[in-house]
Structure 1
């Protein structure tokens, strides 16, 4: 395919005035480098890592509620990455090689509705992260309740509920803007619907409810459970000088879940910032576009969420010795996972 220089699109008549497209060059480079290249690299690496996690943990997910949670989390994270891939990767590439207006309608639709779809899948990921941490919290801090609260079946039910709740919660956001087609250029632009201008909607749903569901509740609950887990582990480590392989595997799994929580807390903060900015800047899509006040912030929440959905595999490899061994076997083409040393770990 031939490369088309952006110089061929240096000017365009809009509304009877000549629009100098060369002023968009810095934006095009931003979209290409930060969105298509860096974001695309993280997406590819993340999908590969999540794919290996699904392959490894899918074999053992019926043995442990926590492993089943991590299996479900890898699926949710993969959905986040796939959606972001359709949003970010084509934007910079098309603009850089084929001109500023190339793929305008696709980009508009992808960024408007794709962003809401990613928020939905990201919320599912958040709920499952809470579920993972809860499983470790019960196993470490409330072991006498593990048989009752930690089961593969319960995890499957709560995961399904997470998808339903997330879809219903973010559904109104798909109807906030109407598409208007320019009769001359046939390009799309968005017009705010009355709901956007409703103070009650913006305060109660877009700010308070969204803030509670996407940030306050997950962050507070995850922080509390993680702190309690670390305190209990510290106490247990003082009491037991040595641990067997099974105990060490549980400890590695617990530390991995705590690391996942720490990464989630950092990345999720940018989503909250974006939610506030979407209320302050109406329409947000115009402010986040080139020459808008938020043009260089527009991709930051996307990249942090991509990083959050891509990094779990690396966390498992670094912190879980047993998982590293299984990755090595998978890469060497061995089909059999190491046998479980005890069948007494079904509910932990």
Structure 2
């Protein structure tokens, strides 16, 4: 007996071919509106968002590369931009392109699915845990600034990123053995079906439901929410302290101190915004995963199938949105980032040179992508 495809990643259960569904306990319930809903979600909404996100992530990566290279959060955001781009490419190839009615693509789709299906799990899990690492990085810089010089080093950041990639890839390895190509039902058409591994109920319940839920959702989401609350509380307290010092005339080096504190605040708000978007989007995917798990464990609850399929489409949109929106967040919270984007896209050389000098003279310390240098950490985030 097959246990269907998990609906909490970029791929949803309606992507499985009829050869897979024939042996699945989650029989698709006929809904004349579902094809239209899928087309709207996958092509009308997700495709433009994914294309925008790919270009935005590439532009963000280029801008981040031009920032100070010793900054740890800068490196983490570059890694995030790369992974988000890979997720968006998979989203287009696995979902959107299926519904544009391109016969040549449909002929090779089965091979693309077999290759990219496990990669989506790897990319999404790595994306989530790098977001956690970025939040921890910012938490140390803001809440424990005196420890940041020792803990938040560039070398350690690269090592932890490598560990995350290796661990998430290893955890996702079983996904490479969940589907296989077949031509059993047609002499001219190749499809894909679940392997014996997926037919094993112990594997499905233990790995695909419980372990995946804990590693992908439970632990990282709780960590992100707890750290985010702590960061917001620290920002609020720092703002009150700064206002009190200004009103009492006790703030020395007013311009420099204000710029450093404002820069630190912008860095933190950027990370907080990225985390909030990540949590909201993953909560919807987590809900879909829970509904799917309930269907697997209690097979008489067929009425949940329609809700799950509809929510899976919404979840796919939110996953695409999560990987595409960071460029907008950076522009919204970082004056330096906005300026760098304008400078890159502007053909006016005079504006590029003079404008950059003006910006650097006003906010030399502002770099939204990092925990800043050790000296700036102490002066700008010590509360």
Alignment partners' CA distance in 1, 2:52 and 2:329: 13
Shift of 1:139: 0.6
Q: TM-score, normalised by structure 2?
A: 0.73
Distance change (3 Å), C-alpha of 1:26 and 1:107: farther
User: What per-residue deviation string (whole Å, max 9, x for no partner) do you get for residues 235-269 of structure 1?
Assistant: 11111125522221221110111111111111112
Q: Contact conserved, 1:54 with 1:74, CA < 8 A, in 2?
A: yes
Q: What is the aligned counterpart of 1:32 among 34, 39, 44?
A: 39
Q: Could you say what secondary structure the match of 1:82 adopts?
A: helix
Shift of 1:137: 0.2
Shift of 1:183: 5.0
Alignment partners' CA distance in 2, 1:266 and 1:126: 12
Q: Contact conserved, 2:114 with 2:180, CA < 8 A, in 1?
A: no
Shift of 1:33: 2.8
Q: Could you say what secondary structure the match of 1:191 adopts?
A: strand
Distance change (3 Å), C-alpha of 1:48 and 1:103: closer
Deviation larger for 117-126 or 329-338 = 329-338
User: What per-residue deviation string (whole Å, max 9, x for no partner) do you get for residues 11-55 of structure 1?
Assistant: xxxxxxxxxxxx998555444332123211011110111111111
Alignment partners' CA distance in 1, 2:43 and 2:229: 37
Q: Contact conserved, 2:43 with 2:99, CA < 8 A, in 1?
A: yes
Unaligned runs of 5+ in 1: 1-22, 283-290
Q: How many residues align?
A: 313
Q: Could you say what secondary structure the match of 2:100 adopts?
A: helix
Alignment partners' CA distance in 2, 1:26 and 1:203: 31
Residues 1:200 and 2:202 aligned together: yes
Alignment partners' CA distance in 2, 1:313 and 1:320: 11
Unaligned runs of 5+ in 2: 1-29, 247-256, 297-304, 378-383
Distance change (3 Å), C-alpha of 1:279 and 1:176: farther
Q: What is the aligned counterpart of 1:162 among 161, 164, 170?
A: 164
Distance change (3 Å), C-alpha of 1:218 and 1:294: closer
Aligned to 1:116: 118
Distance change (3 Å), C-alpha of 1:342 and 1:268: closer
Aligned to 1:267: 281
Distance change (3 Å), C-alpha of 1:292 and 1:117: farther
Q: TM-score, normalised by structure 1?
A: 0.80
Shift of 1:295: 4.7
Question: RMSD of the TM alignment (CA)?
Answer: 2.9
